[in-house]
Amino acid sequence: MWVAVDVRTRRDRIEQRVRSAREINFADLAAEFDVSEMTIRRDVEALESLGVLRRVVGGAIAVQGKDTEPSFATRVADAAQEKIHIADVVADLIGVNETLILDSGSTALAVANSLKGRGLGLTVVTPSVLAALALVDEPDTTVVLTGRELRAGELSLIGPGAEDTLANYNCDTFVMGVAGIDGDRGISDYHQAESRVKRTASRRADRVIVAADKSKLGRVTFVSIATLSQVQTIVSDGPADHPALVAARAAGVEVICVAGQDDSSAEAAMGSR
């Protein structure tokens, strides 16, 4: 039996379809979702604006390249359990009463959720509306949202207003989520405005912790953020001998490998960093 879905769910499913099948047809999707082809065209136009696909006659095809950013919903679902374990290790590195810049993105949101209930008394500056909402009711925690332009889908704040806000603060730690870590090209991300915010945050913190699941290792995406030597710590579930992590150690970066799926293996990973 056919069940109606909301716009966001429909667009997420269209995105998943084009990523797996590499091409989609307007008429087929209209029949599948029981909507008009005009509705499907609007969905496709929205996905095209995010760089997910490119319209062609009668349908659309997947876009490949270093500037293709998966949707936030897709990234939250990808490696979800791994991100929780990475986030728990990152949260263990945060001290009582720290001033913390917490990035936007799915991994940073996992870190925000892991910080809850720890009683650290943090001051958290973040461009992520979702991270702010996760921590706003945490006792003895002060949450500062940057300004000004709200990015659709990500619910992150970008632009000169966000950068100016960050420039006013001196913080202990910046927890950064990234799209790529490469031995030669360093740290990179998809979105230019997001990357400018990350660069500004990096300059305003004494310590930069990069939190990244293993899918980011060896990947180079569109916008360069930093060299490996410009970050202090990388926390990842990737193998310790991955070339990107080997290069990071050679550059003086502390690399913490979250090796397993249970508490004991996470403790072992911390001990072997």
What's the pLDDT tens digit per position in 234-247?
A: 999 999 999 999 99
Residue 273's pLDDT band (boundaries 50, 70, 90)?
Answer: very low
Structure tokens at 225: 């953020």
Residue 40's pLDDT band (boundaries 50, 70, 90)?
Answer: very high
Query: Which domain, by its residues, includes 53?
Result: 7-64
3-class DSSP assignment, residue 53: strand
Closest Cα partner for 201 from 176, 180, 179, 224? 176
* Residues 83 and 50 placed together within one structural domain of the fold: no
Closest Cα partner for 178 from 225, 146, 137, 133? 225
Is residue 2's pLDDT more than 60?
A: no
* Residue for token pair 């006013």: 168
- The whole-angstrom separation of Cα 241 and Cα 264 is 21
* Residues 48 and 91 placed together within one structural domain of the fold: no
Domain boundary among the residues 64, 90, 110 is at 64
Q: What is the pTM of this model?
A: 0.72
Using an 8 Å Cβ cutoff, are 131 and 113 in contact? no
Number of domains the chain contains: 2
Long-range CB contacts for residues 131-140, cutoff 8 Å, separation at least 24: 131/102, 131/104, 134/109
* Residues 117 and 248 placed together within one structural domain of the fold: yes
CB under 8 Å to 121, separation ≥6 — which residues?
96, 97, 140, 141
pLDDT of residue 68: 60
* Residues 143 and 261 placed together within one structural domain of the fold: yes
Domain boundary among the residues 20, 42, 64 is at 64
The answer to whether residue 1 is domain-embedded is no
As a whole number, mean pLDDT of residues 177-206 equals 94
Is residue 172's pLDDT more than 60?
A: yes
Closest Cα partner for 111 from 102, 123, 124, 121? 102
Is residue 152's pLDDT more than 90?
A: no
* Residues 22 and 111 placed together within one structural domain of the fold: no
The answer to whether residue 17 is domain-embedded is yes
Mean pLDDT, the chain, rounded, equals: 88
The answer to whether residue 2 is domain-embedded is no
Is residue 150's pLDDT more than 50?
A: yes
Residue 211's pLDDT band (boundaries 50, 70, 90)?
Answer: very high
